[in-house]
Structure 1
Amino acid sequence: MTITTETSTAALSPAAAEALARLERALLPLDVIRAVTRYEVAALRYDELAARPAASLSSAEFDAIRLSQETMTQAFAVLATAGQTSLLAPLEVATSYRYAAAHCRELAEAADFDGCLAAQDEMRMCRCQLEAAGRLDLIGGAA
């Protein structure tokens, strides 16, 4: 007589994935949670400023770029020490999403609709990855 056990490999619903991600983040050490948050905020500020032409930036904004880079370096060091650098993967996907969205806007303005469709495909792929990770909050989605 053989006993078999079946394991379900069905994907979690978006709500379940989000709840699981929140639970996993809640169980992390406080210094790791703070490092992820600091890294995410600094990276968003850096991306915002780096996307603008350098000639349009004030000296305070150049300082903000430098401070953002320093903050990301410090936070990454904390995560590396804790062996938790994988927690930054959703942020990388969110950055790809934002770049694809900006590229799509540029292509639409240039009437390159085929190119825009390719950028939208990239955005959909990123959104699916963030939804699976429960991190739609990184692109302004449901948190």
Structure 2
Amino acid sequence: MATTDLIGAQTRADHAVAAATAPLPPKAAEALARLETAFLPLDVVRAVTQYEMAAFRYDQLIVRPASSLSPAEFDAIRLSQETMTRAFMVLAEAGQTSLLAPLEVATSYRYAAAHCQELAKAADFDGCLAAQDEMRMCRCQLEQAGRLDLIGGAS
């Protein structure tokens, strides 16, 4: 459908509406994410869940000094890496590796939070502010994706 603006040039009304569309509110984004997940094949959903859980365990263990890890924890690191590899292969075959993007953002958030704590202990408050900016950016991205659960946020 074409319309005429005040100067007389024709414009498409549906194009003008699309340009003015706002981003989805967080609750709507979460609902959309759940709906999209509901239509994914079960093996893809399982692979994402397995990858997220293995990555979380890996992140927990890898930050600790190697001298403090037990043999079972070394095995857990290896098993986490193997699980992430298998899950990534399933997602790659399905063409769904983009489903891991929120997890990467959550990992960046956790690293920024840990870095901020270190900087605060060292009284580097300017550096801490930069880390907090990174954390805010990551939180906004996760909120838009409806995945605040990855950083322990309310959903």
Q: Return the TM-score normalized by structure 1.
A: 0.97
Give distance in 2, aligned partners of 1:2 and 1:44.
52
Higher relative contact order (CA 8 A, sep 6+): 1
Match of 1:100 among 90, 95, 112: 112
Structure 2 unaligned blocks of 5 or more? 4-12
Give distance in 1, aligned partners of 2:84 and 2:2.
54
Match of 2:67 in 1: 55
Match of 1:112 in 2: 124
Match of 1:64 among 66, 71, 76: 76
Cα RMSD for the two superposed structures? 1.1
Q: Indicate whether 1:39 and 2:48 are aligned.
A: no
1:53-108: CA deviation from partner (whole Å, max 9, x where unpaired)? 00000000000000000000000000000000000000000000000000000111
Give distance in 2, aligned partners of 1:21 and 1:123.
22
User: Quick one: which amino acid aligns to residue 126 of structure 1?
Assistant: C
User: Quick one: which amino acid aligns to residue 129 of structure 2?
Assistant: L
Give distance in 1, aligned partners of 2:149 and 2:121.
27
Match of 1:2 in 2: 2
Q: Which has the larger radius of gyration?
A: 2
Match of 1:21 among 33, 54, 60: 33
Match of 2:97 in 1: 85
- Identity, in percent, stands at 80
The alpha-carbon deviation at position 22 of structure 1 amounts to 1.2
Length, aligned pairs only: 143
